[in-house]
Amino acid sequence: MIGRIEGLFRYNPGLSMTKKVIVLYLFIVLLPGCLLMYGYYSRTSSIIERDMSESMLQTLKQSEANIADRLGNIENISNSLIANQDVFRFLSSLEKHPAEQFEHFQAMEKLLAGAERSHDVQRIRLFVRPQLTYANESLHFFPLTDIGPSSPWYDRMMAQNGAIYWRSSYRQTYLGGEDAAVVSAVRMLRDPADFEAVIGVLSVDVKEELLRELMQRIELAPSQDIAIMDRSGALVYHADSTRLGQQSVIRSDQLESMFRSSEGYVHDTDDSGHSLLFRRIALTDWMIVVKLPTRDVSGESVALTKISVVLALAGGSVVFIFLLVVVFSLAVERLGKRIRELIRLIKTGGIERFDENWPQAGDLRMLEQGIARMVQTVQDLTAESYQAKLHERDAQLKALQAQINPHFLYNTLDSMNWMAIRREADDISQMIDSLSTYFRLSLSKGRDVVTLDEELQLIRSYMHIHNTRDAGIRMQYDLEEAALPRRLPKLTLQPIVENAVLHGIGQKRPKQGVITIAARLDGPLLAVTVTDDGIGMPPSKLEKLFQPPSSELAATSYGLYNVSERIRLYSQDASCGVFIESEPGAGTTVRLRIRTDARGQE
């Protein structure tokens, strides 16, 4: 290879150096690179399509698991209601005196009201035989004649033979004019003494917001569309709430084929510009469907191909330059030999022999200039290659970051709360509810920046939990209304309040005191002050609070150092940060200055 390159430079005097390099570059780098990229592009689309499908299916699988888990909680509520044998006994007592039926009504009303405490439940309705005196109560009890076989979902519910049937989205008007979009877990109730007789229908109405909350966590491109639909093609969820209950554009035979599988990927035969990803939702007759434009896949393929072309050409260019360096090294070596020979000739034959054998000055100068350009190009390409590797490593590290899914924790706390409610342990229920709120606000759906109002809600939950054990600390707030929607790094105030509780007021005897939080706007800055009347601290301890954390420093120092550094990084302003004033026995005042602007109100 090197010999052929050298021969091109040596035996083609009619071509300039630039033209020779261009010809070599075309045949050694550019032409093979184009052929390689053409073959690469022809295969990359299918690979990217497969990878995108698998990635999206994993996302749908996680979302389906979350939805099934939340719906499973609703089914548990329904199962717990029908597990109460008094319900069947009361609904079967048509001949009982009205006074006794009223007692039955009161007992069931209390049971249904208790079950409605789940935040996902909109209303629990029980359709009973019209002969019962409370059949037209219209809050929890309704006559069976209000539904009956004429309802489109009634036959599908009856086919479940007592099991739960999930009714698709619809709008329901409740007593008092309240109107809400809901889905319902419905089941029929049979008379234990006459199994052929239907004595009621239990409907647990679930807020459609439950599905909306879970589905909106799926990150999609603007060109992509996601929906939940039932077997008939009716939309159970869609980002456009006005389309709930409408039919999808998917053909019925294609929809039936999709429902025969638990998940999959198909091309939309009615619209060749789209593909469909789907995943069945356990416990229901529903399916999550994502519509992906084909241009998204081809766009990814084109982008990846462009990157590959650049990298391949850069690599080929490096190899090509290396070959040129070798050729020019040989040329310079021969030039050195020629110079030595010419010097010998000059010594032996005089200056005339020098004129005959010495190369033109212009050629030598062009060679020197060419070498200089080549060295500079090698340096530039090496730097670009190094930066590309750094970016690639950074992208790999970001791709490997784990995501915490808090739904298991939320559902566990919700189950504990439900158990406490059933045992009438209201104080435990309130404690669990505060803890659930604390975790929800701490996670903030993965956001690193929250509003001041959200941060204060977190502090209220924290203090409610703390005061359940020690009720000696009071909170006071002096807040400017315009400051509440401004943004700041998450968990900025909570460590400071916790330090005031544990290391300030908590060290007093008795452990009683007041923590005051004040907030106002100071131009583009958010000024927050946290004051406690605890034991305070000496100046020697204040000096250590903002030192980088070490094993010798207390946890309070690490917390304040962490908060101060996060504020400075967020604000990008040397005047921002944490400032502390304290004296022994006189309490502590912590002042925070955070740069914010009107975008914090969005």
- DSSP symbols for 88-138: HHHHT-SSS-HHHHHHHHHHHHHHHHHHTTSTTEEEEEEEE-TTSTTTT-S
Residue predicted with more confidence, 122 or 438? 122
Model confidence pLDDT, tens digit, residues 181-223? 999 999 999 988 888 889 999 999 999 999 999 988 888 878 7
pLDDT of residue 298: 54
Across residues 595-600, what is the average pLDDT? 61
DSSP 458-512: HHHHHHHHHHHH---EEEEEEE-GGGTT-EEETTSSHHHHHHIIIIIGGGSSS--
What would the two tokens of residue 81 be?
Answer: 């209601």
Across residues 38-62, what is the average pLDDT? 73
383 vs 12, 128, 372, 378, 380, CA distance in Å? 34, 79, 17, 9, 5
Q: Which residues pair with 518 in a beta bridge?
A: 478, 529
Model confidence pLDDT, tens digit, residues 402-459? 334 455 565 666 667 667 777 777 777 777 777 776 666 666 566 778 899 999 988 8
pLDDT of residue 204: 96
Contact yes or no for 134/141 (Cβ under 8 A): yes
> Residue 489 above 70 pLDDT?
yes
For the chain, what is the mean pLDDT?
78
Contact yes or no for 124/140 (Cβ under 8 A): yes
pLDDT of residue 600: 41
322 vs 20, 42, 123, 173, CA distance in Å? 16, 31, 76, 78
pLDDT of residue 250: 84
pLDDT of residue 483: 92
pLDDT of residue 355: 47
Across residues 359-381, what is the average pLDDT? 54
Residue predicted with more confidence, 8 or 191? 191
Confidence band (pLDDT; 50, 70, 90) for 598? Answer: very low
Across residues 307-319, what is the average pLDDT? 70
Contact yes or no for 353/341 (Cβ under 8 A): no
> Residue 365 above 50 pLDDT?
no
For residue 116, what are the contacts with CB-CB under 8 A and spacing of at least 6?
A: 123, 124
Residue predicted with more confidence, 6 or 265? 265
> Residue 558 above 60 pLDDT?
no
What's 248's DSSP letter? P
358 vs 327, 364, 443, 556, CA distance in Å? 21, 10, 79, 81
pLDDT of residue 95: 85
> What is the torsional sign of CA 494, 498, 499, 505?
positive
pLDDT of residue 59: 86
For residue 340, what are the contacts with CB-CB under 8 A and spacing of at least 6?
A: none
Across residues 582-590, what is the average pLDDT? 90
> Residue 47 above 70 pLDDT?
no
Confidence band (pLDDT; 50, 70, 90) for 280? Answer: very high
What's 247's DSSP letter? B
> Residue 297 above 50 pLDDT?
yes
pTM of the model: 0.46
Residue listed under structure tokens 């302003």: 573
Confidence band (pLDDT; 50, 70, 90) for 586? Answer: confident
> Residue 346 above 80 pLDDT?
no
Confidence band (pLDDT; 50, 70, 90) for 593? Answer: very high
443 burial class (0-12, 13-18, 19+ CB within 10 angstroms)?
middle
> What is the torsional sign of CA 45, 46, 47, 51?
positive
In this prediction, what percent of the chain has a pLDDT beyond 70? 69
The highest-level CATH class for domain 447-601 is alpha beta
Across residues 329-338, what is the average pLDDT? 68
> What is the torsional sign of CA 83, 86, 87, 91?
positive
Q: Which range among 77-81, 118-122, 432-436, 457-461 shows the weakest confidence by mean pLDDT?
A: 432-436
In this prediction, what percent of the chain has a pLDDT beyond 90? 25
pLDDT of residue 307: 73
The per-residue b/e assignment along 356-384, b for 16 or more CB within 10 angstroms, e otherwise, is: eebeeeeeeeebeebbeeeeeebeeeeee
pLDDT of residue 48: 62
What would the two tokens of residue 573 be?
Answer: 């302003």
User: Based on C-alpha coordinates, what's the Rg of the chain?
Assistant: 38
Contact yes or no for 586/578 (Cβ under 8 A): no
Report cis status (omega within 30 of 0) of the bond before 538. no
Contact yes or no for 228/209 (Cβ under 8 A): no
DSSP 371-439: HHHHHHHHHHHHHHHHHHHHHHHHHHHHHT-----THHHHHHHHHHHHHHHHTT-HHHHHHHHHHHHHH
Confidence band (pLDDT; 50, 70, 90) for 341? Answer: low
- The three-class DSSP label of residue 345 is helix
Rounded Cα distance, 55 and 61, in Å: 10
For residue 284, what are the contacts with CB-CB under 8 A and spacing of at least 6?
A: 68, 71, 166
> What is the torsional sign of CA 209, 215, 218, 219?
negative
Contact yes or no for 309/32 (Cβ under 8 A): no
Domain ranges of the chain: 447-601
Tell me which range, 98-112, 209-223, 348-362, is most confidently predicted by mean pLDDT. 98-112
Rounded Cα distance, 310 and 306, in Å: 6
Rounded Cα distance, 137 and 134, in Å: 5
